[in-house]
Amino acid sequence: METKKKMRCPLGVPGGIIAALIGLAGIVCSLMHLDMPYAWHGFAVSLALFLIAGPLVRITMMIHSANDRLDELESKMDKK
pLDDT at 21: 92
Average pLDDT of the chain is 82
Sequence-distant (6+) residues with CB within 8 A of 79 are none
* CA dist., res. 76 & res. 64, Å (int): 19
Sequence-distant (6+) residues with CB within 8 A of 57 are 12, 13, 16, 17, 20
Report whether pLDDT(1) > 50. Answer: no
> Per the confidence metrics, is the pTM higher than 0.75?
no
5: helix, strand or coil: coil
Mean local confidence (pLDDT), 14-31: 89
pLDDT class of 51 with cuts at 50, 70, 90: very high
